[in-house]
Amino acid sequence: MGSEMCIRDRDEVIFENFTDKRAMSLTNCMNVVIKKSKFISCGFDPKNTKKEEGGALLISGCAILIDTCQFENCTASGNGGAISIWETGYGIKDSKFFQCKSGLNGGAMVVHDTFYLDSK
């Protein structure tokens, strides 16, 4: 069974300066909405030999909507500088990625075995 989580209807939720760690890791969560949030300088040094995915968010086995969010200077030593998504139904709406990078693939994000949810 998954749990529910919602970050929305706030003036601003900011996750900033998560050095050598990600802001959130979500596993087996349903009906997750992350809205009006900023992720700034989160993640792992891209040159690190230990390959960590998703500098801001690592998402696995979830149903998630990311709405009106900003990802800035997020980094991963593995795939997906800002976001790494595994086996998840997802939607991304009105969100921006600035200067995110990874040590491998997907400077902004990487998507594995997932499906896109209509975010209307």
Whether 56 maps to a domain, the answer reads: yes
H or E element, residue 32: strand 32-35
DSSP state of 47: T
Q: What is the pLDDT of residue 56?
A: 96
Phi, psi of 70 (to 5 degrees): -130, 135
Answer whether residue 108 is part of any domain: yes
Give me the tens of pLDDT residue by residue for the chain, a chain 120 residues long: 444 555 555 557 888 888 888 888 999 988 888 999 999 999 999 888 889 999 999 999 999 999 999 999 999 999 999 999 999 999 999 999 999 999 999 999 999 887 666 655
Look at residue 46 in the predicted model and tell me its pLDDT: 87
Q: How far is 103 from 36, CA to CA, in rounded Å?
A: 27
- Segments forming the whole domain that contains residue 111: 6-115
Domain count, the chain: 1
What is the reported pTM?
0.85
Q: Is residue 120 part of a domain?
A: no
